Amino acid sequence: MTKISGSDAMFQVLYDWGIDHIYGFPGGSFDSTMNAIHNWKDKIKFIEVRHEEAGALAASAEYKISGKVGVCFGSAGPGAVHLMNGLYDAKYDKTPMVAIVANVPTSRQDIDFFQAFDEKPWFDPVAVWNHQAKTAESIPVLMDEAIRQAYQKKGPAVLILPKDFGWDKIEDNFRNNAAAHKVVPNFPAPRKEQIDKALELIKEAKNPIVYFGHGAQDASAELKEFSDKFKMPLVSSVLGKGIVEDEFPAYMGSIGRVGAKPSNDIQTHADLVVWVGNNSPFSVFFFNPKAKVIQIDINSERLGKRHAVTVPMLADSKKTLRALIETGESRTESPLYKAALADRENWEAWLESFNDSNEMPMRVEPIFDVINKRAANDAVFAVDVGNVNINFDRLMHLHDDQKWTTSGLYATMGYGAPAALAAATIYPDREVWNLAGDGGFAMMNQELLTQARYNMHIINVVFTNETLGYIEAEQVDESHQPLSGVKLPDNDWAMTAEGMNVKGFTVRTKREFEDAVAAAQQMEGPVLIDCKITHDMPYSTELNTLDDPAFVAKYDAQALKPFSYFAGKYGVEADAASGASEHTEAEPVEVKEDASSGASRH
């Protein structure tokens, strides 16, 4: 029987699972596996990031945009610790990934050795599966199990590998059954009595809406057909953006601080919510507690978690929506439906009115107008965290086969550049955009070196406004405190990029940005475009006080109309059957908000 090293046996398992690349940064404790990386270089590409956090974030992003598990590694001690941010991003966003963590040789463990610490307890809180190999022979078995557990439990799996086990020779006799994993999921169909109860509520409702999330990602056609038949506006979680194309007339956008005005306007008037594949923790702030809810989810743990549920449906979203469409009676347009569409039309017209603004510093609308018009139909967008989330959610019109990813519930700044690495690695023939504020980009800008090294076609757009804008708005609008710790120095990011062998542009007008994008799209490798933008904050959907002249002036919102205007015009009742439209009269759900970060309002 042929013998191979424990690390080579581990790479055989990765290869058998169809994994053709791995992110990481070498270290002495990982030398045995670095040797295996060299041996497998013709089959498994090594993406050498400049920081282990970037590798872990890239591995987390990989599943979000491809549906395939990503793999990263870190050496013992600091390398292991640096992985944590990416692992928590995967944990919060329910993302399968695998992290290989080196440990010092077994003879040097537990004796206060160089870079050694007890790693397993460190990873227990974040990992869905976390084990250290106890023999060299167990390494391929454990790697196979780590991948299986990551897929099944939707989170990060951690395999801790002592250095000496990676060198040890073992029998080359392990073969996995990865092919058995390649089956089409068959989620449950709804029961007839549930369909009947749901349709009864739909028939009786005065102000019904649909609230969908990432769990409805395979039900785009059904969501649109459902909305058309039952005349319900569609609203989503932030991560639900893109499931229904932004141009669909009845899609109001996502709810919350990041979302659009129309979605926030109408949710307070809903007396029935068809809740589809959505577990956003911010949902506790939305809708009236008296609103009736039809909740569709394949995970029973989520039923009733965010709102009282009238008809829980443990079933597949696509199958359930299809059954409701085929069985139910069409509805006529309700006053709320008409008001919602008019509200959206007013909102979109207001946003578009700034597309050709020549204000300096630049507004963000002209930048996104260019991206909307010039980005490839199959472009992939890696979106960092901060005000760029708000602007992307409101201004980016996703269509065709465009994809996007962000750090959703964990919301870690610095996500954009590593996620762009993942996108460019998975889709080398696609156009990849990294959209980041100057605060987030400053955290991971060293990955320009990685982009240049592998000649990745990434267009990095940095929105420079010299502040941590999302946090500044929280300090001003929520906690009403003096600005503290949010100011950033203006940096010449184009010069920084040039120093890292990346072509850099600095732009201050829409025309300059158009020219830079046109040039970037003709280049093979990475490009950075530093956009010097306004310090003004995005429109506050939390305050949304259009009856206040100071608020209107602050956001140049003279052309926006309050929802009360549309409610009056189309006869939206002040008190629907459930009382849900009178949001202010209902007892709110008591949730302790994180006042220091404002994260609960994300």
pLDDT digits (tens, 9 = 90+) for 353-405: 999 999 999 999 999 999 999 999 999 999 999 999 999 999 999 998 999 99
Q: State the average pLDDT over residues 36-59.
A: 97
**Residue-range domain boundaries for the chain:** 3-180, 192-335, 355-532
Query: Does the pLDDT value for residue 473 go beyond 90?
Result: yes
Tell me the CATH class for 192-335.
Answer: alpha beta
Name the burial class of residue 112, with classes exposed (0-12), middle (13-18) and buried (19+) by CB atoms within 10 angstroms of its CB. exposed
User: What pLDDT is attached to residue 575?
Assistant: 53
- pLDDT at position 377: 96
Query: Are residues 538 and 467 in contact, defined by beta-carbon separation less than 8 angstroms?
Result: no
Q: Provide DSSP, 107-137.
A: GGTTS--TT---HHHHHTTT-SEEEE-SSGG
Q: What is the end-to-end Cα distance of the chain in Å, rounded? A: 57
Write the CB contacts of 134 (distance below 8 Å, at least 6 apart in sequence). none
495 neighbors 519 (Cβ within 8 angstroms): no
The tokens 């090594």 sit on which residue? 46
pLDDT at 254: 94
Q: Pick 107 or 126 by higher pLDDT.
A: 126
Closest by CA position to 48, among listed 441, 335, 456, 504:
456
pLDDT digits (tens, 9 = 90+) for 139-163: 999 999 999 999 999 999 999 999 8
Residue 582: predicted pLDDT = 37
Q: Which amino acid is at 32?
A: S
What integer is the mean pLDDT of 517-534? 97
**Is the full-model pTM beyond 0.95?**
no
- Averaged over 115-119, what is the pLDDT? 76
pLDDT mean over 203-232: 96
Fold of 355-532: Rossmann fold (3.40.50)
Mean pLDDT of the chain: 92
Q: Which of 190-199, 298-307, 475-484 has the lowest mean pLDDT?
A: 298-307
The domain defined by 3-180 folds into Rossmann fold (3.40.50)
Which residues, at least 6 apart from 464, have a Cβ–Cβ distance to it below 8 Å? 437, 438, 490, 491, 493, 530, 531, 532, 533
Interatomic CA distance for residues 312 and 199, integer angstroms: 13
Residue whose pair of structure tokens reads 């956001």 in the numeric block: 555
pLDDT in tens, 260-276: 999 999 998 999 999 99
Beta strand ranges found along 355-480 (DSSP E): 380-383, 403-405, 432-437, 458-464
What is the average per-residue pLDDT within 531-535?
Answer: 97
Residue type, 322: R
Query: What does the DSSP 8-state code read for residue 411?
Result: -
CA–CA distances in Å: residue 476 to residues 433, 484, 540, 550: 31, 10, 11, 14
Given a cut of 80, whether residue 233 has pLDDT beyond it is yes
Same fold, 3-180 and 192-335: yes
Mean pLDDT calculated for residue range 239-249: 95
Q: Alpha-carbon distance 516 to 472, whole Å?
A: 29
SS3 call for 415: coil
Q: Give the three-state DSSP class for 457.
A: coil
Among 49, 99, 42, smallest CA distance to 69 is for 99
Prior bond to 361 cis, omega within 30? yes
Report whether pLDDT(599) > 60. Answer: no
